[in-house]
Structure 1
Amino acid sequence: MALGQALGQAQPVKVGEVSDDFEITNRETGEPLKLSDYEGHVVVLDFFAWWCGPCRTSSPDVEKNIAQYFHDRDGNEHGVPVTVIGINIEEDSPDRTDQFVTDSGMELVADDFDSVAWNMLNERSAIPLFAIINGVEGNEDYKQWEVVYKKTGYEGADKFRSVINKIKPGFTKPAILKKLDDQSVPSGGTAVFEVQVDDESSLIYQWKFNGELILGATGPKFLKTGVTSKDQGVYSVIITNEHNLSAEDSAELLILDSAPSILIQPMDLTVEAGNYAKIFANAIGSKPLTYQWFLNDDPIRGETEDVLSFSNVWIENVGDIWVEIENDFGKVISNKVELKLTETMDISYNDALDTEDMIFLSSPNFKWNYQTKENSDGEDALVMTGLPDWDGNLNYATLKTLVNGPGNLEFNVKIDGDLQIFRAFIGQGSVWDKDFITITDTSIDWNEYNIEIPDGSHIVTFMFLQGPKNGGNDSSLWLDAVNFTPEDQTNSEIKLVLSEVRNGKLILNFNAASGIKYKLERSENLIEWKLYRELKPEQAEATIEVPMATDGFGQFYRLKSE
């Protein structure tokens, strides 16, 4: 399965070369996952995506005949542990990825949405891609983190086992027999940290405080006397043997009557609209600690833990964010950070799409353009055209809006071209999905579509992908007349009644809903109906005057809401 390769990246690591460390995300826990976490292991990397056909057979086989096989035997033939990491490279359609992982029986899966590991190892821009890396230090045949095998396509479990069984144990890092204990000490007291290690070689100790070296602290025991609130935090020790292999341990020092101090400050975050956002802060101080997160000077209701999370990020969630942490002895305020969206907002979109109450966000790489030449209402519309060819890179344009259901979202679409994909959908999705509204490789004149919006707040995405033009014309998409009608207004019954006849006119009354457009249609035979007048009354009871028929023919009226 072909994939796009990032431009400007470093050259991929080849077989026989040493890989740099990388950090991706554990799919189950959301925590960072590093290659270096598996020091001393043989590491097998399986790059996959849910839409990859060959992956559907290779990933289950690798899990069963490599991961489980070596787990049941406590490592390879030489006792070296073997770890298989499935690396998912597809961010869209997370439900399909979950199903793929379940079907494959994969135990350890990481997401690489920023292509960190992928760019490091990818040479052919195709999956499945496999790499086997030696994480053993001191091995006589391979350097630590050397790529000993890499292949696009699966050569089978026997091939993998033969490579894995060549890797022998090397030197071992110091073994920590007694770990450091957290300390709770009153102001002015003494904190004692001591570590016990089993290693026959000469050892070097180095203590740190909140990641910074403590000068002169180079023994197995560290004492801190006369402690104050400034001394609370994380104390760690690194033990290095003569083979330059290291072990590390850490513990916290808490001053019993101290105000909070922040150990980990929150960080700036940029996400796509509708995605999940998480901002984290960590503090130490006398318990209990209370957290209150703020957005643009206002407290965020219910966000009183060390993690601030938004499940459906939208424009109202962006801005300056910080957290206030408090206990009985004082209060501390974190640095201000910024939560931003990758998309941009343009108020001209509202004019083009004939709505005042909705906000539209456009993908940053491809701008939707306001124009008046082509439209469905005689006024204006948005157009997307000139997208690059699909050549393995998924270069698509998106337009997103937030609607509060239940209700009905209507919009008009025109497509020119025969090699493109247009989709309109709720929530997460990709260009390859077929649910909601999907139009593939088809030109259409102006047509009206609608999506039923369930209860709650939902992101609706309009997505457009250019197919391979092969020197031909661009495909184009026009979008117009976007309108959302809440369910209570959609389902309300409209009663049109004749109130009186006055001066040769019929006086009609009907129950109106504020903000809703109505169409009064007229017919002489109850079969063919023509638009007579459009109305948008402000009051609940609306009145219409229409002329009486004088030509001897019947006259009928009906009222419809948009």
Structure 2
Amino acid sequence: MATSSWLRRVFPLVAVSALLALPLHADLGDALNPQLSWTTSPERPWVEVFDITHDDESAARSAFLSAGQSSWLRTTVNGPGRIEFWWKVSTDFDFGYLRFSVLGQTLEINGEAEWDFVSIPLPAGQHVLEWTYGKLPGFFMIGDAAWLDEVAFTPGDNPPKFVREPADTTLIAGNELVLSPFAAGSQPMTFQWYFNGQLLPGATQAVLRIPQVFTNHSGAYQVVARNAWGTTTSATAHVVVELDPLALALNAPQLYWETTPFAPWEPQSLTSHDGNSAAQSAPLFDNEASAIGTTVEGPGVLSFWWKVSSDGDALSFAINNVEQDFIFGEVDWEKRTYAIPPGRTVLEWVYIKDGAGSAGEDAGWLDEVTYTPAPYITGPRLQQGQFGVQVRTQPGFQYVLEYQNSLRGTNWVPLVTVPGDGTLRTLSDPAPVGPHRFYRVRLTSQ
């Protein structure tokens, strides 16, 4: 379906025979709600029927359709208030649907769905309510139809209600996580997200966005919506963050790697420096290139091992599009180390095949990429008997505040450890004792 849905039900496919023609009544208000003004598609209108209803009186039924056609029904209400109705549909699951649209969102049922109740709070303002029964191209069953009954609109303010829940998500480390539920209800409305039952600081928008996720972001997410009339909690969204096989081959799962889609670097275990696996450039024709890269936040220190086997084709390394070094011909594993400047820095390795022929394995390899960002520390201070320091953290690392009582010693004692998440985190010693105490922040890989 082209439109996302708040709700989806799966029902067994049931063959439907042709419906008998029964007397019809043109007044949709009598069938649905006489206090509302109704319009319907003129070519394929909804009509009042008496054979299939929820209230045992009358209901509105869509027009009978051919493949690729639709039949709509509309009314308008002024919020705040609550819209409620009963609906059902009888159609092929893959080729037909009944949709309800309001607030820029769409609720959908399909297949063989019996009478179901829907209740949605609406904020202040004018709202167009639309029900559409449609059949997709390529399939046709005589007698398919949709029904609507007992539409009620109750004016007044309402507490929040989630009409679209946050969805379970699986994604590769380094990508952006977006959880986008939708809560209807009276405004103003506030939101607070929770991760594994703990409040997420700063996550107070209706949609949760985490630009780069890593394995420590796997877990359960919920959001609480509040307004002056009540509070409601969303369903739990289970998020699974998986490591990129290419990142694992490079020993750098904390980094997000990109490679040329038409000639990608691939993880392999036949040739490596660490005896496990490494990344290898793609097989190339003459005058083609295969690139791999990542982005880091400087300052920091980068090191890696690389190797090439060719007739003279080169494997190069660049920082922010400025070439730093290259190797060509037959070069066994060599290590390189670079100081990375402050700021967002693009790192790229490119294997280029020229047109002079082939020799060796015609490939480049990369392994054991290590990037250690320098801790960015601000505000070390002693206030009201408590020592504190703020650290700009990076995902994939842990930051440990340690102390000792003498600079002559080597016995650093860990006080607190926080995982890096790309934000400014505070590390503190709540009760420093002794005439002197010395502190340091140590980085470790997660």
Give the TM-score, by structure 1 length: 0.36
Q: Identify the structure with bigger relative contact order (alpha carbons < 8 Å, sequence gap 6+).
A: 2
Bigger share in helix? 1
**Whose strand fraction is larger, Structure 1's or Structure 2's?**
2
**What TM-score does the superposition give when structure 2 sets the normalisation length?**
0.43
